[in-house]
Structure formats: C-alpha cells, structure tokens
Structure 1
Amino acid sequence: MTDAIEATGRNSLGRTGSPLLVAARLAIGLLQGGALWWLYRSTRDGGAMTWPATQPELFGPLAMILVMVPVLMLAGVGRMRWPVLLGWAVAATAFLALVGWHGVASQTTGEYGPGRYPPFLPWPMPLFAATALFIGHHLVLPADMERRWIAAFPTYFDTAWKAGVQLVLSIGFTGAFWLLLFLGSALFNVIGLHFLGDLIAKDWFSIPVTTVVFSVAVHLTDVRDGLIRGVRSVVLMLLSWLLLLMTVLAAGFLAALPFTGLEGLWETGSATALVLSAAAALIILINTAYQDGRADNLPPAILRATVRVAAVLLTPLVVIAFWGLALRIGQHGLTPDRIIAFACALIGAAYAGGYGFAALQPFWRKGAAWMHPLEKTNVWTAVLEIAVILALFSPIADPARLSVADQVARLERGAVTPDKFDYAFLRFESGKGGEAALARLTRSRTPEVARRAKDAQAADNRWEARQAAREAAFVPVVGVWPAGGALPPRFLGSDPRDNDIFACRKTGDCVATVRDWNGDGVAEVLIARRMNLSVHQQQADGRWAKVGDYWLGACRGRPSPDVREELKAGRLSPSPARWPDLATGSRAAARFREEEPDCDAAAAAIQPAPVSAPSR
C-alpha cells in the first residue's frame, strides 16, 4: 500500500528529490516571505499604517491567506496534479477570505481605538481555520492520489499522520535554525562584530528567511519519506499504549460519579471543557491504536479490547458534556464560548456514535472486521468538522450574533435582572452586533437598564466596565459601634472608591463609628479594619470622602492588636505626635514614622500616615 501511495503521489514534477520540485518549493517559500514582509511593513511604515493595513477587512483575510495557503502548496506540490492543486488553493483562499473578512468586519475598534493598533482577527478563528484547512487538504490529497472522490482509509491515514509529523519537524527545524543564528550573533558580538545581530533584526531579512527555511524543511522531510514513516510509527506505538491509562482514568471517573454526584464537576465552571478534552484524548489515542486498519497493523489483543472499551466510554462523556452545557446555558444564556463548546460536543457526538457502533457491532454481526466502521466515521466526521467551522466563523451561525440575541432576550423577559446583566460583553466582546444592541438598551424604557448601558458605552475598556458594574451593585457590609448606632444617611450611598469601604464585603470585615476626630465640632466617620483606621469627612457638596488613614505599626516583634477590637474597647483616641511633621516651607510634606514603635507607649498605639487629599 505504501508503494502504491508513493507511486500515485508523483505528478509532472517527478520524484520528490527532483531539481524542479526543489525549485518550486523554494520559490513558494520565497514568494510567501516577500508577501508577508510587505504585509508586515504596512502595519508600521514609519510608525503609521499604510495600505492594506488601513483596510482591516482586506488585511485580516490577506494575512491568513498568505500564512496558510503557501503551506498547503508546499504540502501539495509534487504530490497532487497541478489542476487539482490550483483548484484546491483557490477553494482554500475563498474559505479564508470569507471567514477572515467576517471575523474582521464583525469586530469593532472597541477599547483600542481607531488607527491605534493594526487590524486584528478574533481568536480562536485563525486556529479553527487552520484546522479546517488541514482536514480539507487530507481529504483532497488522498482522493486525487487514488483518482476517486472517496479514497481508501489507509491513504487518508498515511497522508494525514505523515503530514502531522512533517509539520512538527519542519517547525522544529525552523526554530533550531533561528536558535543557531542567535547563538552565532552572540558569538560575534563578543568580539565586537555586530553585523549578524543587525541583520537578523531586519524584518526584510528575518521574515523571508523564515519562510524559505520552513520550505526547505518540508522538502527535506519529504525526501526522507521512509524516515518520516519510521518516526511516525514510533510515535503511534508510544501513544497507543497511553490509551490504556486514559481508558482506566475515564472509566474510573464515570464509575465514581454515581457515588460522588455531579455537583463538584458543575462547580468547576469548566465541566464541559474538561469532559470534552477527555473525549478528544480518547478519540486521538483510539486512532493511534487502530492506525490504518490493515490486518498487518493490528495491535495486541489487550489494546484491541481497550479500544472497544474506550469507544463505548465516549458516549457517556459526551452526554455529560451536553448536560453541563445545557445547565450553563439555562442559567446564564448563550455566549460565544458556549456555542463553540456546543459545536465541539456535536462533533464529539458524531465520533461517539460511530465509534460506539463499531465497538458493539460484533454483538449482532458475527465475524465483522475489528472496529471497521471507525473508518467511515472518521471520513464523514472530518467533512462535518469543516462544515461546522465554516458555519461558526461566517454569518451562518456567528457565535457573537447568536449570543447577543439570546442575552438581550433574557434581559427583556426578566430571566436576568438589570444589575446582573453583562453590559461589558455587548460593548467589548460581541462586535458590531453587540454595540448595536447596547445602543438600543440606552433607549430602554427601564431607567436602570438605560443608565447601565450608557455607563458601559462610556467605559474605555472591558475591565473598567465590569469593575464599574460590580461597584454599582456592591452593598458594603459595615458594622456600627456602639451597637444600635447609625451612620450618616448619605455615607453608604457614596462611591465606594471614595469611601474606602469596597473591602467591607462580609460581616466583621469593618467596624465604623461616628466621632469628632479632629475637634472641629463636626463628626467624622471612622472605619476600622484589621490593621488600619480610615477617616472620612463630609465635603461641602454633601459627599463623603476619605481624607486619610492610620496604619498600626510593628511592635518590636510583638503581634499588632486588631484595630477593630481596639475601637470596640475604647482604646483609640487622637494623640499628639511625639515628633514634628516635616515641612517644606509651603505645606506639610510628611508625617514622622517611628522605625519600631513601642506598643506600650500610648502615643504610639496607632501611627499616623500621610493625609491624602479627598478623592475626586
């Protein structure tokens, strides 16, 4: 079979070592490097962006096309017929153009601001796009090699796993090349020669050299085809024995669930991701054991039995993933991450159904080939994966658009209260659709919704928006001493950042009292925490603001007393400083801080800190 694959893989360029093939791959690498250098320069030409970086909807797709399509050409040249290779390159370009354009066009400049940063592609779209192209390439290549629409499964297996090993080795070769260049640069720098360091710092050199070296690595690994297959065989053999461990772990996890329940899994907040990761690991390891399915590649009996068990375990794992996802969506609605997780679970369900059928087939069909239905499952699920990726990262099933619609609907029907709604998601994480929805919410008939939506619009970044929302919803827990006392009416209604009480989250964190602390006849509010006492004063506009605080100093190796308990015991009082303030002639510059205050000295019970101006 291997000889047949090699024979059908030769096209008009001849054998893998032919000079024409070498020239073709070097030309692809050089052209790719030049194009990427031109694209890179457009983002920082003299400190300002130039075309095409000034056109995000063009720059984003073009960046993905110039990175990924030449790699497909490197992998296909010499193995695919030219018409098929060119047709596949055009199809891949169209695919990347669509998902890249949609990814950029649906985004907003958001917190970055127009023109401040190069155009960007939303993560993880480039990763999924690369995955779809890898899958697609290894559906097209075997079909062309065998001159039929659906190739034999051994051909799919051989080409895909060989390409995976080649890719890893080529990336490693390129990385080693650069490590040696940096080492050489360091050696020359030691003797005062900086030409190599200056050269590799030039983008016109580093980018084309990287792509050319990568193309050389691809060709070298292709020439030594037998060596690559040998490495692949060793890798598959080692990974296949890890299937035993993973199967035992998955079986033990599922067996323990009836006794432990699922609450602990749900409380992690990442149950679906964990379970789907376990299922993905099983799928990969099952394939390392099955390999191409030929009789001369059958694994030992213990691995064949393990493959059957692992294939059956996929179904409960995928069911748990769907269950956890359904609970999260029911509680908190759709988000882009949950939609992508649902898509991954859907693909996992396709694998689980096919693999489970293959594992259980002998129970109703005697003499059936071992796990043979797995082959069709892999091929058709690969097609499904491409379709799902295309849907997710195009207008068909855009996760951001679906999430915005669902979240706003939940707000409108009362499934989430205005104070719990994530306005920052609409502002910064859901593109133009989210910004449009947020603009509509600013005109809401519900005053709180409109106010919070306007606050989110005014925020400079997502962290500021979420922090403002948390602070707006925050109700400080402050104990009043003496018991039964009350704080001034407007005190707790002020901005908690001004009041320095944002840390008062639970009973006992803070103890407050109302006292005339500076003897001016007007009462201040004192808030005691574990190691400090803050002083709050009412301003002319009626707003309360922190004006300063005291920190309990170290007590010559003795533990510092709790300021809250000192306040309750009545042991806190103003005390004249034993040392004068330091003045600059125009204002008090600093208060004196004793190195190791004596806790037995009454004047040092609480050490004063510099008084800050009221927060604005």
Structure 2
Amino acid sequence: MAAGDEQVSAAPAPENLLEDWEPRPFVLAALLACGGLGLHFLFDGSDPQPLAGAGAAFIFFAALAAAFALDPRNWKSVAVFALGLGAVMAGIAWHVLRFEEAYAGQHFAFAAGVFASVIALPLFQAGFHRTRLNTDYKLTHFHVWTDAISGAGALAFTGLSWLMLFLLDGLLGLVGINLIEDLTREGWFGWMWSGAAFGTALGVLRNNLKIISSLQNVVLIVLSLLAVPLALALVVFLVALLASGGQALWDATDSATPVLLACAVGCFVLTNAIMRDDDVATSRSRILRGVAMVLAAGVLPLSVFAAVSMGIRVHQHGLTPERIWALICIAVAVAYGIAYAVGLAQGRVSGWATYLRRANLNLASATGILALILALPLWDFGAISARNQVARLDAGRVSVEAFDYSALRWDFGDAGRQALARLGEREGEVGRLARAAAAQTMRVWRGLETPTRGDVAARLRVQPDSEELRAEVLDFLTTESWRCAEACIALDLGRNAEGRREIALVEGYNFERFVLGGPDGRADPIYPLAQDGQLPPFTRDAEVELREETRRAIYVNGRRVGVPVD
C-alpha cells in the first residue's frame, strides 16, 4: 500500500468517556468566566506582585484542569486534582515573581511547571494515580490527542467569538447603539467573554468525544504525511555529516543545538502519529511503517549530535543557566532516543511499536516528575554557572580581557553578582574590570552578544596615547557598552577643579564631553553635539586634533566638528 492509500480506521474510544453530559457547556462557561473575572481583578495593568501572580496561576491552572477533566461521576477526585495542580503552580509562580532578580532562569522554572502540568492532565484522566505504570496506553493516547484537539478547537472558537462581537458592534453602531463598544472597553468584560466562549466550546467538544476520536485519526493521518520528507532529510543529513567528519557540526554550533532538538521532537511526534495507540490502528502503509522505523531510530543520533553541539559550546564559553536547561532537555531527548533504539532492537521488524508505546508511558511519567522537581526552588543554576565561569577564568581557559564580567552582573542572579563582587576585591586587571562591570546600570545587547572589553579596545583610540587614559576610558565604555559601536577616539581635555578627568569622545563626526570617575563609577555627560555637514566615513584612524582657538574645538580630518567644546 502506498503512503497515500491510508484509510481512516478509527479505533473506538473508551465507551465510558463518550457519554453526553448536557449541562457541561454551561458549567464550563460559568467556571471559566468566573476564572476570567478573577484574573481581571488580580491584574490591574501593572506587573503582578508575587501574591497576585500566585493567585492568578492558581485560578488559571485549576480552572483549566477542572474544565478538561470534569466528570460528574468522579467530580471529587477531579476537584482534588485541579486544586492540587493550581496550588503547585501558584507556589511556583510566587517563587518566580518573588525571587525574579535573585535567581537566574526563573522563566525556565515556570515553563517546567507548565510542562509538568501538561503531562499530568492526560495521565490523571487515564487513571495513572490509581494504576501507575500499568495504565492503559491506549487510554492515555486517547486523552493526549483529544485534549489537544478540543483545546485547539475551543481556542479557535474564542477567536471567532471576538470577531463576531466586533461585527455585531459595527451592526448595532449603525443605529446608534454602542453597548458592545462600551462593554469591550471594560477590562472585566474581555476576560469573562473569553473564558465563557472557551468554556462553552470546550464543553460542546468534550460532549462529542466520539467525533473528536474520529477527527483525531484524520489529524494523525495528515501528520504522518510529513514523516516521509523528514525521514529523507534525516538520511541526507546523517550522510553529509559523516562525510564531513563532523566538521559541519563544529562550524554550526551557534544554531545547531535547537535545530537538532527540534528535529528529534519532530521524529518523535511523527513516529507516534504513524504507530498510534495499538497495532490495529497503526498505519497499514508499508512505506509509512518503514519511515516510522527510520524516524524512531533517528531520535538518538539527533539527540547525541545536539549533546555534542552543546558540549562544544560549553567547552568554548562555559556554563550559563540557559545552557544548563538546554543540557537537561538534551538529556531527556537522549533518554527517549536510547529507549526507542532499544525498542527497535527488541521488536525487530514486527513488534517494535509495542516496546515504543511502553517506553512512551514510562518516560512521560518520569519526564513529568523531573519537570516538577526542576520547577521547584531546589536548584540555583546561576550559582552553578557563576562558579564554572570563575573557575574558567582562574584556570586561564579564558583571558582576563575576554572574560564576560557583564554576564556575572546581569545573567546569573545574586550568585553572579556575589561572584563579581569577590572578583572586584582582587588586585590588578581582574579587580578593575570586575568593579567596572559591577557599576553598570543597564545591560545593552548588540545582536546576540554583549561586546567584551577586548572588542571595545579594538575600536578605541586615545589622544594622547597613554595607558592610564586608555584604562580609564575603557572602564567608562564598559559601563556604557552601546557607545563606540564601530570606532571612537577619546581626547584628554585635562582635569577639572575637582581633579576629575574630562574627555571628549568622538564617534561618527559627533562628540560628547564627559567627566570620568564620578561617585558611582560612571561618567557625567555634559552635552551632545550634532554632525557638521557631509563628511568622509569616520574610522579609528581618522586624523583628530584638539586646536587652540579663541575657544577650543575638535577637528576631524582637518574639519571642525560641531561647536567648540568650551
């Protein structure tokens, strides 16, 4: 049978889940409308405070969990699950907001909590809390896909309901009735309308799980069509990578890891779209079955290559909180890859899908537990990263000039700032650079990287050429890293009555006058001056001089820039 000869042979969904509960749409509409109203009162347009954020997380996750899992015959256990899930996410949200500046990567911790919640919902619906690892895989698979499809459908209906609302507003506006316009301007109405629309649609869809089950099979058939080009691309990639001896992976370390992980996830999703929940429902196409085996086997090499790519990055630049989270994701992907490879070896040609389904259930429960543990405030990846970065500096794996002191100031939380303070207590260049970074009041990004002191030093020229002057100017530019983007020249204007050095920083035929060595370690700008006419390109080698006239002025390539500095 060819890939396009797939037939829709929907396996029947569990009968006890197909019963229509008539009040469901009204109950869910009321539940989520009240939840939306609660969110409105907790968010007043400003950044949420920790307690308000915790309350919002509780309402949001508890309400959604109850809406998806609602079963009138088992409402007590659903209530316990929903309230427990809401309480856990409330605690995580409170910690994230309360210690947002103290701990690095807090948004990743919250995302881990969300991921754990997404995994917990279908496992609870399938009865995992009672049957543990003996949970019926077919039942779990059913809930995963019906939740995803009904949630997507309800979200689409919510968007359409807003379009209808605006259309009705325009219609009634033609006869001078502005009620809908007035309501949409009220914050509470938008939250309640969205909640009610989502709940109504979700209730209708959950009352028609038999139709959703058939639609699920159609969705899986369509998804399985994408498996063929992905498998072909995977084979081409592996052949090309082996032919290059791995050099291509080394050259592409900046972007290789997310691409490889995304492809591994694609292989996982499309493999499961083909093999489905049992052998009866598995695609009958021999081509697609073969493609599924190729994709299942491809999860491990893609995950290993992602690990190699990230290992190269860590070796070159050390650990950061983001890289630690990436390493955890890679470890999970490698675990799936190993399980799939073992399943393929055990099942050989005919029975491999059974082993993969069992691996899916075991790994899903383990991954959910891992995500929950990582979401809890048990780890400080900022402290781990800071220790690693300082150890690299002390071991000489990164030079004093190239070390990213700004990362300790901004990216690693309180642990990074404490490490930076300890570096600032040292003598010599390390201490001076650390103190300059600690004085920064803003993190400025140029592209994806912050310019290092070495980058700025390569663009800077000082007049007169003095190591003392150059060091002072570089300290200043370290705190104002958006300056000297291409080339700049610093002219020494002498010291003022307070004994502080004054400079004129010339950049792109403009200059600003600064007083260095202020109380906070930063310069005090005097005034900026505009460009004077059409001039040749400004470079670091431009001829710049400070001429004595009635008043002093700056000349670049023989032409005066702006107004006199005095």
**TM-score, length-scaled by structure 2:** 0.79
SS in 2 for 1:420: coil
1:610 aligns with 2:544: no
1:333 aligns with 2:342: no
1:372 aligns with 2:354: yes
Q: CA deviation at 1:478?
A: 7.7
Written as runs of structure 1 = structure 2, the 5 A alignment for 1:254-273 is: 254-268=238-252, 269-273=254-258
Letter aligned with residue 383 of structure 1: S
23 and 487 in structure 1: CA distance in 2 versus 1, 3 angstrom threshold: closer
Letter aligned with residue 288 of structure 1: A
2:42 match: 39
Match of 1:427 among 409, 412, 417: 409
Q: CA deviation at 1:106?
A: 3.1
**Cα distance in 1 for residues equivalent to 2:135 and 2:271:** 21
Q: CA deviation at 1:16?
A: 2.8
2:270 match: 285
1:181 aligns with 2:181: no
Written as runs of structure 1 = structure 2, the 5 A alignment for 1:340-379 is: 340-363=325-348, 368-379=350-361
**Cα distance in 2 for residues equivalent to 1:304 and 1:436:** 56
Q: CA deviation at 1:132?
A: 1.4
1:95 match: 88
**Cα distance in 1 for residues equivalent to 2:288 and 2:216:** 18
330 and 161 in structure 1: CA distance in 2 versus 1, 3 angstrom threshold: same
Q: CA deviation at 1:408?
A: 3.2
Alpha carbons 2:319, 2:389 under 8 Å: kept: yes
Q: Deviations over 1:172-201 (max 9, x none)?
A: 111111122233334555665443222112
Alpha carbons 1:34, 1:208 under 8 Å: kept: yes
380 and 612 in structure 1: CA distance in 2 versus 1, 3 angstrom threshold: farther
1:583 match: none
Between Structure 1 and Structure 2, how many residues are aligned?
528
Letter aligned with residue 284 of structure 1: V
Match of 1:17 among 10, 14, 21: 21
5+ residue gaps in structure 1?
A: 111-119, 481-485, 515-524, 554-559, 575-586, 588-604
Alpha carbons 1:550, 1:606 under 8 Å: kept: no
5+ residue gaps in structure 2?
A: 1-9, 493-502, 518-522, 552-556
1:406 aligns with 2:358: no
1:161 aligns with 2:145: yes
SS in 1 for 2:332: helix
Alpha carbons 1:143, 1:150 under 8 Å: kept: no
71 and 154 in structure 1: CA distance in 2 versus 1, 3 angstrom threshold: same
1:78 aligns with 2:71: yes
Deviates more, 1:157-166 or 1:410-419: 410-419
SS in 1 for 2:127: helix
Match of 1:139 among 123, 137, 146: 123
Alpha carbons 2:58, 2:89 under 8 Å: kept: yes
**Cα distance in 1 for residues equivalent to 2:14 and 2:427:** 68
Q: CA deviation at 1:501?
A: 13
SS in 1 for 2:353: coil
1:495 match: 473
16 and 448 in structure 1: CA distance in 2 versus 1, 3 angstrom threshold: farther
1:387 aligns with 2:379: no
Match of 1:127 among 102, 105, 111: 111
**TM-score, length-scaled by structure 1:** 0.73
1:210 match: 194
Q: CA deviation at 1:609?
A: 5.7
1:460 aligns with 2:441: yes
Letter aligned with residue 563 of structure 2: V
1:238 match: 222
SS in 2 for 1:463: coil
**Cα distance in 2 for residues equivalent to 1:538 and 1:354:** 63
180 and 608 in structure 1: CA distance in 2 versus 1, 3 angstrom threshold: farther
1:62 aligns with 2:14: no
Letter aligned with residue 36 of structure 1: L
2:6 match: none
Q: Deviations over 1:263-303 (max 9, x none)?
A: 44333312211111111111011111111123244331001
1:302 aligns with 2:302: no
Q: CA deviation at 1:460?
A: 2.3
SS in 1 for 2:20: coil
Q: CA deviation at 1:166?
A: 0.8
**Cα distance in 1 for residues equivalent to 2:114 and 2:350:** 36
**Cα distance in 1 for residues equivalent to 2:31 and 2:481:** 62
Alpha carbons 1:423, 1:438 under 8 Å: kept: yes
Q: CA deviation at 1:213?
A: 1.4
**Cα distance in 1 for residues equivalent to 2:232 and 2:140:** 29
2:298 match: 313
**Cα distance in 2 for residues equivalent to 1:547 and 1:168:** 54
Q: Deviations over 1:405-430 (max 9, x none)?
A: 32233334443344333333333333
**Cα distance in 1 for residues equivalent to 2:201 and 2:258:** 35
Structure showing greater Rg: 1
2:30 match: 27
1:276 match: 261
**Cα distance in 2 for residues equivalent to 1:254 and 1:87:** 48
Alpha carbons 1:340, 1:392 under 8 Å: kept: no
2:426 match: 445
**Cα distance in 1 for residues equivalent to 2:203 and 2:335:** 36
Alpha carbons 2:228, 2:291 under 8 Å: kept: yes
550 and 69 in structure 1: CA distance in 2 versus 1, 3 angstrom threshold: closer
Q: Deviations over 1:515-546 (max 9, x none)?
A: xxxxxxxxxx99999xx7679999999x9x99
Alpha carbons 1:289, 1:299 under 8 Å: kept: no
**Cα distance in 2 for residues equivalent to 1:534 and 1:78:** 70
Q: CA deviation at 1:315?
A: 1.7
2:496 match: none
**Cα distance in 2 for residues equivalent to 1:356 and 1:156:** 22
Alpha carbons 2:96, 2:107 under 8 Å: kept: no
1:150 aligns with 2:134: yes
User: Which structure is higher in helix share?
Assistant: 2
Higher relative CO (CA 8 A, sep ≥ 6), structure 1 or 2?
2
1:323 aligns with 2:308: yes
Q: Deviations over 1:92-128 (max 9, x none)?
A: 2343244323323432289xxxxxxxxx994244433
Alpha carbons 2:403, 2:452 under 8 Å: kept: no
SS in 1 for 2:277: coil
Letter aligned with residue 35 of structure 1: G
Q: CA deviation at 1:307?
A: 0.9
Q: Deviations over 1:337-358 (max 9, x none)?
A: 1111111111111211121222
Q: CA deviation at 1:150?
A: 2.7
539 and 362 in structure 1: CA distance in 2 versus 1, 3 angstrom threshold: closer
**Cα distance in 1 for residues equivalent to 2:40 and 2:538:** 63
**Cα distance in 2 for residues equivalent to 1:320 and 1:121:** 25
Q: CA deviation at 1:311?
A: 1.4
299 and 414 in structure 1: CA distance in 2 versus 1, 3 angstrom threshold: same
Structure 1 vs Structure 2 CA RMSD: 4.5
**Cα distance in 1 for residues equivalent to 2:219 and 2:387:** 46
Match of 1:172 among 156, 163, 168: 156
76 and 549 in structure 1: CA distance in 2 versus 1, 3 angstrom threshold: closer
Match of 2:185 among 201, 213, 217: 201
Alpha carbons 1:129, 1:389 under 8 Å: kept: yes
**Cα distance in 1 for residues equivalent to 2:473 and 2:434:** 19
Question: Alignment identity in percent?
Answer: 24
SS in 2 for 1:16: coil
